[in-house]
Amino acid sequence: MFKKRGTPRAAGGFLSQHHFLTASSMLTGTVIGAGILGIPYVVAKAGFWYGAILIFLLGLAYLFLHLSLGEIVIRTKKQYQLTGYAGKYLGPLGKKIMTLSLFITLHGALIAYLIGEGATLHFLFKIGSPLMYSLLFFLIASFIVSRGIKTTGRTELLLTIVLVIVVLFIGLFSLENINTAELTFFHPLFFFLPYGVILFAFHGTPAIPEMQEELGKNKKHLRKAILLGSSIPIVVYLLFSFVIVGIVGLENFEKLAPNERIATIALSIYSSTLLGYLANILAMLSMFTSYLTISLALREIYEYDYNLSRRTAFILTSLIPLLIVLFNVTSFITIIMITGAFIGGLEGSLIILMFWKAKKNGDRIPEYSLKFPYFLGLILLLLFVLGIIYQFWDFFF
């Protein structure tokens, strides 16, 4: 069998199960990032139950997208990241479009996480400045990413477990404070408002090629790892939105300044100090795990798809977000709006097209093959194109 670059040594028994859990947590940790902080406000604005349905449906859509990309990866002998797979199956133009999309979305996400982590850590410790904490976080995360796939995967597993525990604690401690009346509203005028934010929140595609690296020769477990890693965020988002919307409510959200309408800040203001700290710990962990996997994916794009040295790839991955944060070029909300215009729509459409081409032109027998009907892919294409149109309309008009 062709040995993919970066593939770890295979192991059986307990270690095989460990690789499966680590691979799943890499996807969960990538998905649950800054997007979770914006979901409760847009869900409260449109109506909780409608928002919950949208979370569930878009979560399933991304589960299918992640499985599709997983099949692309295991149908291909050579190790790539997303741009390389686009080049192989969609040609030079496809590679250029994917490169543009990923360059904007991945760097944008890293910038958002650096800014968000600085603000969150400053809130928790209340000394120094947000920039000081952004730089401290950058140094720690960069060290982990520089150590490579194994260190990053184990860190993701540990942090994802802690993240899920924190969400459960928030739910348990806040049950008596939830006002069910806040969950019954429906606002048709904001029907499309949650769409772009939720798409952003479920984005985890850069983790898929790394998952198959973590699994090594146990690629037969990739489908189960993707199913688990994609399902956990759906449950977490539903529980988190239920708690935050039930406690804060739309009226209180609207009293806050635009940059304060993120879940952890709202919970800190309108709930107990303990819940506020738990929520901000959740924000810190979710952005931390996402930053690790996205940094690694971006490094691999430079390294695998453009044949740069690991050191050069690492510098390019880290330098741009660091400079943007140092020179205070943008804000947390603005960078998410910009990246949200590309995540899901353009990248998701390309992955569906790559999936169809890989079915015919793949050069490796896959460990699993999806049997979904063709029209389902067409529906997803329409969904992702509408996401692009909505995001641009919302941003410019």
More confident residue, 203 or 258: 203
Distance separating alpha carbons of residues 281 and 260, to the nearest angstrom: 17
Q: What is the DSSP letter of 306?
A: S
Give the dihedral sign, CA 365/370/373/374.
negative
- Based on its alpha-carbon atoms, the radius of gyration of the chain, rounded to whole angstroms, reads 20
- Answer yes or no: is pLDDT of 15 > 70: no
Single-letter amino acid code for the residue at 355? F
What is the arithmetic mean of pLDDT over 183-209? 83
Contact 346, 202 (CB under 8 A): no
More confident residue, 314 or 71: 71
| pLDDT tier at 13, thresholds 50, 70, 90 | very low
- Answer yes or no: is pLDDT of 49 > 50: yes
Distance separating alpha carbons of residues 214 and 220, to the nearest angstrom: 12
Contact 321, 110 (CB under 8 A): yes
Q: Quote the tokens at residue 353.
A: 């097209």
| pLDDT tier at 156, thresholds 50, 70, 90 | low
Residue 54 pLDDT: 92
- Answer yes or no: is pLDDT of 130 > 70: yes
Could you give the C-alpha distances from 183 to 97, 196, 243, 250, 258, in angstroms and in order?
41, 21, 10, 9, 22
Contact 170, 278 (CB under 8 A): yes
DSSP 102-147: HHHHHHHHHHHHHHHHHHHHHHHH-SS-HHHHHHHHHHHHHHHHHH
Could you give the C-alpha distances from 245 to 46, 235, 337, in angstroms and in order?
11, 15, 22
pLDDT tens track for 319-354: 888 888 888 776 676 677 667 666 667 888 899 999
Kindly give, in sequence order, each residue whose CB lies less than 8 Å from that of residue 109, ignoring residues fewer than 6 positions away.
Answer: 33, 34, 290, 294, 339, 343
The number of beta carbons lying within 10 Å of the beta carbon of residue 371 is 5
- Answer yes or no: is pLDDT of 179 > 50: yes
Could you give the C-alpha distances from 80 to 26, 106, 258, 354, in angstroms and in order?
17, 16, 40, 13
Contact 204, 139 (CB under 8 A): no
Q: Quote the tokens at residue 293.
A: 């996997």
Residue 353 Cα to chain centre, angstroms: 21
More confident residue, 142 or 389: 142
- Mean pLDDT score across all residues of the chain: 81
Single-letter amino acid code for the residue at 158? L
Single-letter amino acid code for the residue at 72? I
Domains of the chain and CATH, by start: 14-396 (1.20.1740.10)
